[in-house]
Amino acid sequence: MERRSNKLTVKGIVVSSKMDKTVVVRAERLVKHSVFHKYIKRYVKYKAHDEQNACQVGDKVLLVESRPLSRDKRWRMLEILEKAK
């Protein structure tokens, strides 16, 4: 997560694009275990607004936080970093 002009940005991978103008993005982060000092992958899923329905499953995207767009959507898809193969 980064801050860009007072808005958080997140990089992640699209896991679902079945909804109209909405994608589900999985963002991973590494957390150090307090006892064993190993790094563990943790992830969270965000629902993001995709106005042109341009994303497909497997795309790497950049999200930026926005005002609430629906009950679950609080993010907008800013750009596609890498298309799926």
In the chain the domains, ranked by start, together with CATH numbers, are 2-82 (2.40.50.140)
> What per-residue confidence (pLDDT) applies to 63?
97
> What per-residue confidence (pLDDT) applies to 1?
76
Confidence of residue 58 (pLDDT cuts 50, 70, 90): very high
Q: Which pLDDT tens digit goes with each residue over 2-46?
A: 776 789 999 999 999 999 999 999 999 999 999 999 999 999 999
Consecutive H or E run containing 48:
strand 39-49
More reliable by pLDDT, 75 or 1:
75
pTM of the full predicted structure? Answer: 0.87
Environment class of residue 7 by beta-carbon count within 10 Å: exposed (0-12), middle (13-18) or buried (19+)?
middle
